[in-house]
């Protein structure tokens, strides 16, 4: 076998191994619902690389209870190909006699439903073809799930044609096909190997396992994965996994402990389970299809009261420091700050995720040199309300202008952006975020309309900044928040979200 072919195969094995350790590490976290992780699960041939099993009744999978996840991991060094809808019906695409869809359905048939409802996931670093009609819908869907539109649109639509082609390929009735396809998670364009290594290292550290050295080529996890497969020790529960880790010298410190962690989630991230990292947790993801609200009334009637209710006991949050994990829309992050305003005395600080998770807890810095705002004001629609376009992580002005020009209630647009510039690194740290929020709150107070008028707030900013801004509740007046359709699935514009006060 040629050297490049051997190297490619080894890289694929390393990637699969890291994915195994990412999930197996959760067996050491008492709060996790993971009860078994299997490497190379023979019972799930076709989607057998890793399986993760949860304590009954299962985990929340976007409003449905999931008992187990089965993963097929496809890592490719060669990036010359990509996935498209018709790839899943073509055995030649994977160099086999059965297509990807057929292999996944075969696995579904063998697994049955004895252990409860389960998901079947393809994990691959290959991308979707840019012209494929499923690409924009899967990018923002719940962990790569096929969206509701895939099942509801007519046979003459683009999605209807794909659905029917897949159904006929499997020779299934519509009911049987939907039952199968609702289980699929097609997570392509997944993390690169370095990105997965960073995610794995953070998890290993958090559960008290040895970190993968960043300055060495070799690490114990690669060789140990191979040994586990060769000696048939491939299925672990919490006790057997801990015993193996102790035997192999993988436990180097007690799990990281610290202040309680609160969690708010309104969308799902693949391979991350925020509830396992939290002391207390609220999830409203079942009100969304991906990042899009299923019913606009849910913002006010479901999400606002559920999140506010979760945070209502501010007295309990005054006595000790708490950290807040915001896996949510900016409107929800703002709402969290609004409910935990500065007068509440709550000691709650947002978690900033990255290569290393950090807590955005303001210090004593008084340097606000880079926290000034530049503003310009212009006329818009025929109304008397004011729109404030907050451009921090990206330039939101043109999209806000387009929305405001078609509005009957907005009459003025205020463009607000940091003097220091915009971009993904525009907010340096917690002190900078608080200083920016302080200045922005004063800006909103100055421009908000008199009387019964509403300020329409369009935030293109990190969630931590949205949270700190929301804490200025008393200065902000009557607000209408908005969310943006980044993928262009719902018109590529803004849509109203939460109104405050309720």
Q: Which of 311, 438, 440 is nearest to 366 (CA)?
A: 438
Beta strand pairing status for 118-124 and 68-74? Answer: parallel
> Residue ranges of the domains in the chain?
3-140, 261-359, 373-500
- For residue range 298-350, what is the model confidence (pLDDT) as tens digits? 999 999 999 999 998 766 788 889 999 998 999 999 999 999 999 888 999 99
Q: What whole-number distance in Å separates Cα of residue 251 and Cα of residue 25? A: 11
Select from 20, 12, 18, 7 the least CA-distant residue to 49: 20
Residue among 263, 338, 260, 239 at smallest CA distance from 27:
239
**What is the pLDDT at residue 139?**
60
Q: Give me the residue label for tokens 């099942």.
A: 151
Task: Return the SS3 of 420.
Answer: coil
Strand order in the sheet with 280-283: 280-283, 261-265, 322-327, 348-352, 358-359
- C-alpha dihedral, 27 to 204 to 355 to 79, nearest 10°: -80
Helices (H), 238-346: 238-247, 297-298, 304-310, 314-318, 330-339
Q: Which of 353, 272, 327 is nearest to 19 (CA)?
A: 272
pLDDT beneath 50, residues of the chain: 1, 3, 355
Strand partners, 479: 455, 500
Rounded to whole angstroms, the Cα distance separating 468 from 390 reads 14
pTM: 0.77
Residue-wise pLDDT tens digits, 215-264: 776 788 988 999 998 888 999 999 999 999 999 999 997 766 678 889 99
Question: What distances in angstroms separate CA 407 from CA 109, 414, 477, one per listed residue?
Answer: 52, 15, 20
- The whole-angstrom separation of Cα 350 and Cα 360 is 5
Name which of 297, 279, 328 is nearest 470 in CA terms.
Answer: 328
Query: What pLDDT does residue 143 have?
Result: 74
Burial 462-477 (b: 16+ CB within 10 A, else e): bbbbbbbbbbbbeebb
Say whether 199 sits in a helix, a strand or coil. Answer: helix
Let me know how long the chain is. 502
499 three-class SS: strand
């Amino acid at each position: 076998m040629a050297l490049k072919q051997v190297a490619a195969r080894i890289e694929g094995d390393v990637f699969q191994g890291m994915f195994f350790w990412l999930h197996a590490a959760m067996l050491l976290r008492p709060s996790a619902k993971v009860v078994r992780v299997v490497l190379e699960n023979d019972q799930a041939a076709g989607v057998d690389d890793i399986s993760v099993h949860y304590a009954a009744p299962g985990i929340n999978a976007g409003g449905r209870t999931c008992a187990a996840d089965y993963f097929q991991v496809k890592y490719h060094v060669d990036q010359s190909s990509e996935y498209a809808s018709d790839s899943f019906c073509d055995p030649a695409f994977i160099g086999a006699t059965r297509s990807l869809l057929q292999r996944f359905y075969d696995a579904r048939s063998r697994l049955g439903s004895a252990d409860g409802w389960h998901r079947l996931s393809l994990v691959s670093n290959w991308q979707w073809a840019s012209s494929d009609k499923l690409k924009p819908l899967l990018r923002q869907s719940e962990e790569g799930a096929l969206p509701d539109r895939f099942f509801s649109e007519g046979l003459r639509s683009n999605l209807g044609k794909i659905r029917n082609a897949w159904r006929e390929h499997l020779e299934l009735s519509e009911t049987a096909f939907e039952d199968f396809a609702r289980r699929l998670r097609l997570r392509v364009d997944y993390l690169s190997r370095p990105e997965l290594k960073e995610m794995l290292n953070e998890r290993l550290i958090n559960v008290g396992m040895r970190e993968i050295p960043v300055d060495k080529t070799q690490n114990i996890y690669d060789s140990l994965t191979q040994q586990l497969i060769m000696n048939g020790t491939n299925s672990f529960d919490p006790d057997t996994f801990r015993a193996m880790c102790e035997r192999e010298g993988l436990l180097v410190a007690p799990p990281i402990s610290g202040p309680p962690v609160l969690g708010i989630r309104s969308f799902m991230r693949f391979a991350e389970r925020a509830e396992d990292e939290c002391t207390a947790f609220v999830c409203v993801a079942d009100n969304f299809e991906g990042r899009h609200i299923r019913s606009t009334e849910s913002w006010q009637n479901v999400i606002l009261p559920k999140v506010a209710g979760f945070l209502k006991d501010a007295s309990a949050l005054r006595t000790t420091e708490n950290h807040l994990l915001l896996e949510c829309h900016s409107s929800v992050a703002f709402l969290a700050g609004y409910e935990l305003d500065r007068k509440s005395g709550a000691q709650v600080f947002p978690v900033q995720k990255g290569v290393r998770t950090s807590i955005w807890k303001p210090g004593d810095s008084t340097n606000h040199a880079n926290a000034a705002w530049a503003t310009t004001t212009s006329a818009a629609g025929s109304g008397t309300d004011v729109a404030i376009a907050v451009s921090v992580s990206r330039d939101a002005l043109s999209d806000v202008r387009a929305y405001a020009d078609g509005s009957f209630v907005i009459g003025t647009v205020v463009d607000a952006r940091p003097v220091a510039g915009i971009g993904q690194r525009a907010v340096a740290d917690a002190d900078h975020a608080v200083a920016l929020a302080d200045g922005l709150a004063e800006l909103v107070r100055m421009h908000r309309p008199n009387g019964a008028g509403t300020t329409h707030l369009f935030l293109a900013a990190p969630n931590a900044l949205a949270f700190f801004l929301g804490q200025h509740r008393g200065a902000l007046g009557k607000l209408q928040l908005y969310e943006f359709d980044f993928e262009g699935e719902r018109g590529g514009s803004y849509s109203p979200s939460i109104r405050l006060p309720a």
